[in-house]
Structure 1
Amino acid sequence: MSPIGDEETTILVPFTPESEALVTASPPKNNVLSWGLAPDVSVFCGRGIELETLKQWVLEDRCRLITLFGIVGIGKTWLATKLAEQIQPEFKVLVWRSLQPISRSHSPLPFSDFIDDLINHFSGESHPTIPEYINAKIRQLMDILRHKRCLLILDNVESILPNHTPKTASRNDSDYEAYSQLLKHLAQAQHQSCVILTSRVEPTEIQPFIGENLRVRSFCVRGLQVADIQQMLNAKGKFQGTDDEWKRLVDYYDGNPLILSIVATIIQRFFDSSLTNFFSHNTLISENIGELLNEQLSALSVPAQQIIKVLATQNAPLSFSQLRSHLAPSISGNTLLGTLAFLKARSLIYTTSALFSLHPLIVNYFTS
C-alpha cells in the first residue's frame, strides 16, 4: 500500500486580485531566514528582465508555485537565489534547500527527514509536534503555508523526479512518490506562500496546473548576452578578443554561464587569455563540458536520440510532419508527440510557431 494515501483534488480557477483573501497588507516583521547551501550571488550579471517578470509573478500576481527550468549550467540556481534575496522582505519565513544528492549513485534525502526540516523551520516553534505518517506531515506543512506567508526555494528538483534519476539498489521508490505528491499539493492547493523550483526538467506532476492566468507558472531560463558574459568573466581576469570573437564564443555555448566559465578558465590557462588562440586549436567541447552535457542527455530513449540526431543535421527548424518524414516509420505520431514533450521539458528542443529546433549547445555537441 502506498505510504501517501488518497490525494485530494482542488479545482483551479483563474487568479484575480479579489480572489486572494490571505495576503497581508504590509511586509511581515522579524523574518526567519534559512539559506541552506544557497550560492553567493553578490557578483550577478544580466537577468534584469527575467527578475522583473518573476517579481511581478510573485508579488503582484501572487503565484504560489513557479518552476525555473533549463539546461545544465544555464543559471537557474543563481536566478532563483537572486530573486529570493530581492523579495524575501515580503515573507515571514524563507527556506532555501537543495535536493541534489551527494553523488549520482546516491538517493536524495529521505522524504520524511526533508519535510520534518521544513515543518521545523516554517512552524516558528522550538520543538513542533510532527505527525508520524507522511500524509499527515504533508497536511501539516500545507496548513502552515496557508496561514503564514512563506518563501520556499527548492533547487535541483530533477533529483527527486523518478523518471530522471537512475535505478539503484538503495533507491526508495516510496520517497519519490512522496516528493511527487508534495509537488502536486504545492501546485493545486490554495495557500498564501510561494514555492520556487529549479530543475533541468519541467516536472510532469505540475504541468496540468500551469497557466498564464493561473497561480502556477513555468519559466524557461535562457542564456546570457555577450555584454553580460563579458561582465561576468571580468571577475576572472582580462581576456583578449575582437567583438566578432566574443559573439562567436557566446553564441557557440548559447550564453551558458557555467560552461562559459569553464571555457574561460581553459582560455586563461592554456591559450594566454586569447580568444584568437583558443579558436585556432578547435578545442571547443572539452571533456568536462561533455560530461556536463551527458548528464542532461542521460537516459534518452531510442526515439529521442533519433530526433536529436535529425535536428542536429538541419539548417532550419522542422515542422511536425517534416520531422516525422526524417524518422523511421516505426516511430508513430503518438510516440513522436510524447518524445517531443519529453525533450521540451528537458530544454533540449525549442518550439517556435509550431517548428522544432535543437538547443544550439546540443547541436554543437553532436556536430563537434
Structure 2
Amino acid sequence: MNVTEMLQFIDRLVENQTGKHLDDLQKNIVQGLWEGKTYQQMAEDIPGRYSENYIGDESRKLFKVLSDALGDEVKKANFCWTLERAVNSPLVGLVNGDLTWCPHPDRQTTSTEAPKPTPTGPNHDLSLAPKIRTFCDRTTELSTLSHWLCNQNIPLISVVGIAGIGKTTLVKRWIDLNLEEFDTIIWKSIPFSPSLNTIIEDILTTVNPDTLLTHPLLTQLFQLLRDRRCLLVLDDFQHIFIPGQLAGHYKPEAQDYHTLLTKITEIDHQSTLLVISQEKNQQMMALDAELYPIKCLELGGFDSTELLKGVGLGESDSALQILKNYEGHPIYLKQISSLIQTLFSGNIAELFAEDHLILTQTMQTRMKTCFNRLSPPEQQIALHLSQSALPISREQLRADLSLSSTDLINGLDSLKRRFLLTSIETERIAFNLSPIFREYVRSLS
C-alpha cells in the first residue's frame, strides 16, 4: 500500500464517520505520519505556519475519528500498522466505490472457547530503569535513536560502549522524551533476571495479567509484538556472554537469546528489541545489515569543552589533555576533577607531575572486571601492548607473540568489540590499548 491508497482509505473512513472529507491539513498529517515524521517535522513542512502543538492536537482529533470508525485504538505509535491491518482485514471491503467496515461482527462463542481480552492503552514497566538526574548533551545520538525507532521502525537495535559511558542513561532519556511512541515499553536488566523464559513471562503478564502462559513462550511473545507496538529493552546484555572467551559468545544456558535475536529480525511485527551491552554481539555482527533490519549505536566519550566546564576543569590546554587521557568519560572526568580539588588544591599541573596516568579506585575496579573477562590470547596481546609507548603493527605482534595468526586476529577483533583497543592507520595499521585500560594492564606486569 502506498500513501495515495492510504489517503483514499482514510478519507472514506472519515466521510462515513463525520460526513466530511479530509481537509488539506489532515491529508498532510496523514502523509507525515505515513513517512514517520515527528509533529515538529510536520509543522516545518506543512504550508501555513502551524505550530507543533497544533499539529499534535489536530492529529489526536483525527485519531479519535479513526478509532471510533474502526473500533480499535489509533494513535501516532500504531497509526500505519493499525490502518494497514484494517485495509487487509476480511472485515473491510469496497463495493461500487463505497467502503464497508464491520469492526464488531456477530460471533458465537462456544463453551470451550472464551474470548481473549485485548489489552488497550499504554502499558509500561520501567521499574528497573534508572532515574535520570543529570544528562550530558547527546543530541545527535537521541536523534539517531528517534530516526531508527520512529521513522524506520528498526526491529533490533544495540547500544554499545565501555562501562559507565552513558548507554543506559541515553536510552532511558530517549524513553522519557518519547513515551507516547509505543503502546508498551518494558525494561529488563539481565543481572536481575538472566532467564529469557522468565523475562517473557514477565512481559506477557505485565501487558495482560490474565494471560494464560503456554509453550513455546516465544510464540506468545511475537503475537504480542504483532498486536501492540512494543519497545523491549534488555540492559547489561553482556552478562549472557561467556567470560574468559572472545567477546559476544553466548553462555550455553543463554542460547535461546540467539533464537530471539534472529526471529526478531525475520518475523513480521511492529515492535523493537533494544539491547544495551559493553560488548558487541558476535551474532548481530554476523547478520548482514543489507538483509536484516538491524542497527548498532556505538557510544563514545565526549570531546567538547562543555563537559570539562561541567565538572569544573575549565578549558585550558591541560584540561583538554585530561579530556583526551580519560577518553571523554563523564564519570572518570568527574572523579579526576574531584581528586584535583581535594589533593592538589585545584592545581591541574600537580596531576601532570605524576609519572603515570592516575586511576581512581572505580577505574581500577572496572578495568579489572574488563581484564578478567578477556580470553587468554586477548590477555597476552593486552599485556604486550601495555609495555610499548608506541602503537604496534599486526606484523610486529605476530613476531613478538607465540600466537597463531587466527588467535592473533581474533584476539585483536575481540578487544575492539570490547572497546579496549584503538587502531591507527599510517603506512601500516598499528594497535594500542585505550589509555585507561593500558595503564591498568601495565600495572599488572
TM-score, normalisation: structure 1:
0.76
Partner SS state of residue 219, structure 2: helix
Aligned residue pairs, count: 322
Match of 1:137 among 214, 217, 230: 217
Letter paired with 1:186: I
Between the aligned partners of 1:240 and 1:321, the Cα distance in structure 2 is 40
Cα distance in 2 for residues equivalent to 1:37 and 1:164: 28
Name the SS for the 1:27 alignment partner. Answer: helix
Cα distance in structure 2, aligned partners of 1:209 and 1:100: 26
Report what 2:363 is aligned to.
Answer: 289
Larger fraction in helix: 2
Alignment of 1:192-203 (within 5 A): 192-203=270-281
The Cα shift of 1:179 comes to: 3.3
Structure 1 residue aligned with 2:143: 52
Report % sequence identity: 26
Query: Larger relative contact order (C-alpha < 8 A, sep ≥ 6)?
Result: 1
User: SS state of the match for residue 153, structure 2?
Assistant: coil
- SS in structure 1 at match of 2:134: coil
What amino acid is the match of 1:48? T
Shift of 1:77: 0.9
How far, CA to CA, are the matches of 2:439 and 2:352 in structure 1?
14
Say if 1:307 and 1:125 are closer, same or farther in 2 by CA, change over 3 A. same
1:259 and 2:332 correspond: yes
What is residue 359 of structure 1 aligned with on the other side?
A: 434
The CA deviation at 1:210 is 4.8
Deviation at 1:227, TM superposition (A): 2.3
Equivalent position of 1:220 in the other structure: 298
Contact 1:111–1:175 at 8 Å: present in 2 too?
no
Residue type of the partner of 1:246?
Answer: A
Q: Which runs of 5+ in 1 are unaligned?
A: 1-16, 19-23, 102-107, 166-172, 234-238
Distance 1:184 1:360, change over 3 A: farther
The Cα RMSD (Å) is 3.0
Find 1:115's aligned residue among 176, 187, 200.
200
Greater CA deviation, 258-267 or 243-252? Answer: 258-267
Alignment of 1:1-368 (within 5 A): 26-28=76-78, 30-101=121-192, 108-121=193-206, 124-131=207-214, 133=215, 136-163=216-243, 175-211=253-289, 214-230=292-308, 232-233=310-311, 239=312, 243-280=316-353, 284-314=358-388, 317-328=391-402, 331-351=403-423, 355-367=430-442
Contact 1:241/1:276 (8 A) holds in 2: no
Q: Deviation of residue 185 (structure 1)?
A: 2.7
| Aligned-partner Cα distance in 1 for 2:321–2:338 | 17
Cα 1:211–1:245, aligned 2, differ >3 Å: closer, same or farther?
same
How far, CA to CA, are the matches of 2:131 and 2:340 in structure 1? 24
**Residue identity in the other structure for 2:204:** I
What SS class does the counterpart of residue 270 from structure 2 fall into? coil
Contact 1:71 1:296 in 2 (8 A): no
Alignment-derived partner of residue 58 in structure 2: none
Structure having the higher Rg: 2
Is this contact kept in 1: 2:235–2:276, CA < 8 A? yes
Q: Mark the CA change 1:268 to 1:181 in structure 2 (over 3 Å): closer, same or farther.
A: farther
Distance 1:177 1:164, change over 3 A: farther
1:324, CA displacement in angstroms?
A: 2.2
Contact 1:91 1:151 in 2 (8 A): yes
CA distance in 2, matches of 1:176, 1:313: 37
Change (3 A) 1:80 1:351: farther
TM-score (norm 2): 0.64
Per-residue CA deviation, residues 225-259 of structure 1 (Å, 9 max, x unaligned), is 242423542xxxxx365612211221111011222
Paired residue secondary structure (2:76): coil
| Amino acid of the structure 1 residue aligned with 2:440 | Y
Q: Which moved more, 1:140-149 or 1:314-323?
A: 314-323
**Distance in 1 separating the partners of 2:309 and 2:211:** 46
Change (3 A) 1:119 1:355: farther
Does the 8 A contact of 2:344 with 2:350 survive in 1? yes
